[in-house]
Amino acid sequence: MNYISTRGASPSCSSAEAIRRGLAPDGGLYVPESIPVLEPEEIEALARVPFADRVVSILSRFLTDYGQAELRRMAEEAYAEEKFVPSPAPLVPLNIYSDRMYFLELWHGPTAAFKDLALQILPHLMTAAMHKSGTEKEVRILAATSGDTGKAALEGFRDVPGTSVVVFYPAKGVSDAQRLQMVTQEGANCRVVAVEGTFDDTQAGVKEIFSDPEAAEALDRSGVFLSSANSINWGRLAPQIAYYFSAYADLLAAAPKPPLEPMQMGEKVNLVVPTGNFGNILAAWYAMRMGLPVNKLICASNRNKVLADFLRTGTYDRRREFYRTNSPSMDILVSSNLERLLFELGGRDADKVATWMKDLGDKGSYAVDPATFRALSEVFVGGFADEQGTVKTIREVYDRFDHVIDTHTAVGFNVYERYATRTGDTTRTIFVSTASPFKFAGTACDALFGNGYSRGRSEAVLLDELAAESGMEIPAALAGLAEKPVLHVTEIRPVGMKEEALRPF
Ligand SMILES: *Cc1c(COP(=O)(O)O)cnc(C)c1O
């Protein structure tokens, strides 16, 4: 299967080439030429196999220049038992007496956020792509992060031969735990740089470096090739499609005691996705187009609600105040992956997409045509939660269901509750739980022990108290962070990003 650019001005290429490049040369994003569809029996068959096989089943339909055995080896290594404890993507009922609501917990990996699911396998896909292209070059991964991608990319690529990784994060835009996780990163091929500005500034900076011929030339001379670990890379997105199928397969495999009802193949589910760069929910949309029975995709934003407004009005307008919230991984005003969805729903009209993206760049906004807006509205439901609402929801979910959830997952739950009240929808619903609550321990403690509780208490104390209250274990990734030596202290303005990206290791 070949890949084409959403902006139509780059030649099509193989899946390995799309992964190797990350961004298409015309500035667009790669999408598969066609979308494979699974028969109901094929989805049912997934219920009988382990997670790694489910991933292989999905990936092999998209990454056709990788061998089946090759993909299996990669998946088995990426999702090995010692990396994901107890498993990569467990589906957990909110309440054992109900068969209506589930968390899809995607934070049991090495960095305690869902980014691990894709970034544990991406280095395998990337190094194989380099070999397939026949180049001997080193691949340098540039990543802009709103907090979780950075650490997951560093962990994924650390000491992988033939690769290096440079992570840019907004200096004041990540949680304490997220920052500590990154600045204590070990590995001779890892570099972490704080940037004055927002995530949008760092993402724009990275995109600029990608389309800078001078940068490419300079690196080329030193035998380095640039690629991306952000969800603009199809190699990030494809593995994420797999866990939606996995969740559905788990529902099919469950044998609940009456009066709870087992799920029949074909029954539709809602997917609630806390959204920032639109990667995770786009993967859910692809899953739906591939035959996964989906009722609604609920796109939940925090106070940076550019997507909620877009889904309500059809106008995307990034000209607005930017807020630092308690769900920092979603503090984003330019959601890159929306471009792929607009390409698909707008009749795969690359000229149209290129015009919208140009308007976004030049004017800061664009409005989609009525047909595209109608197609969007059929499936997507938007909504947002502010910081107070997020804290309140963490408290409420704890009281009602005895689960402590993180701030991002809480944004999803908050938006869903209002949707369900408004519509009376009782469809089975899967909440994507994107991070461990320990990653945002301050806010979790404020929710559980009272407003302002976290003020003046150290991260280590908050972790301990959260563990004691919730009965959950502190993830290995976060325990002892405060004692680790800080290895990365560089802080720059956005103009300095290119130099940091090019500087030899
Ligand atoms: C990255 C992230 C999100 C947003 O996901 P997108 O794919 O960028 O929409 C939500 N929650 C957490 C915890 C994240 O790390």
Q: Is the same domain home to 184 and 141?
A: yes
Number of separate domains in the chain: 3
Q: Is the same domain home to 373 and 429?
A: yes
Q: Is the same domain home to 463 and 500?
A: no
Structural domain span for residue 208: 112-230+475-505
Q: Give catalytic status of residue 268 as yes or no.
A: no
CA of 169 from ligand 1 middle (Å) equals 14
Residue 446 belongs to some domain of the structure: yes
Residue of 83, 115, 207, 296 marked catalytic: 115
Atom 2 (ligand 1): residue with closest C-alpha? 329
Residue 287 belongs to some domain of the structure: yes
Question: Would you state the torsion angle of the CA atoms of residues 404, 405, 406, 410, taken in this order, to the nearest 10 degrees?
Answer: -130
CA of 368 from ligand 1 middle (Å) equals 24
Q: Is the same domain home to 479 and 469?
A: no
Q: Is the same domain home to 214 and 137?
A: yes
Residue pLDDT tens, the chain, 505 long: 999 999 999 999 999 999 999 999 999 999 999 999 999 999 999 999 999 999 999 999 999 999 999 999 999 999 999 999 999 999 999 998 888 999 999 999 999 999 999 999 999 999 999 999 988 899 999 999 989 999 999 999 999 999 999 999 999 999 989 999 999 999 999 999 999 999 999 999 998 999 899 999 999 999 999 999 999 999 999 999 999 999 999 999 998 888 898 899 999 999 999 999 999 999 999 999 999 999 999 999 999 999 999 999 999 999 999 999 999 999 999 999 999 999 999 999 999 999 999 999 999 999 999 999 999 999 999 999 999 999 999 999 999 999 999 999 999 999 999 999 999 999 999 999 999 999 999 999 999 999 999 999 999 999 999 999 999 999 999 998 989 999 999 999 999 999 999 999 9
Q: Is the same domain home to 197 and 154?
A: yes
Q: Pocket residues for ligand 1 (CB within 6 Å)? A: 113, 115, 148, 231, 274-280, 329-330, 408, 434-435
Residue 494 belongs to some domain of the structure: yes
Residue 498 belongs to some domain of the structure: yes
CA of 69 from ligand 1 middle (Å) equals 31
Residue 20 belongs to some domain of the structure: no
Q: Is the same domain home to 218 and 117?
A: yes
Q: Is the same domain home to 414 and 427?
A: yes
**30-32 vs 3-5, strand pairing mode:** antiparallel
The answer to whether the beta carbons of residues 99 and 257 sit under 8 Å apart is no
State the Cα–Cα distance between residues 88 and 107, nearest whole angstrom.
Answer: 8
Q: Is the same domain home to 127 and 182?
A: yes
pTM higher than the cut 0.95:
yes
> Could you tell me the CATH number of the domain that includes residue 202?
3.40.50.1100
Helices (DSSP H) in 63-162: which residue ranges?
68-78, 115-119, 122-133, 148-157
Q: Is the same domain home to 224 and 273?
A: no
Q: Is the same domain home to 461 and 481?
A: no
Residue 86 belongs to some domain of the structure: no
Residue 245 belongs to some domain of the structure: no
Tell me the best of 116, 117, 145, 148 to mutate to test the pocket of ligand 1, counting ligand atoms within 8 Å of each CB and taking the most: 148
Residue 45 belongs to some domain of the structure: no
Q: Is the same domain home to 288 and 381?
A: yes
What is the arrangement of strands in the sheet containing 429-433, beginning at the earlier edge strand? 91-93, 101-105, 429-433, 269-274, 294-301, 380-384
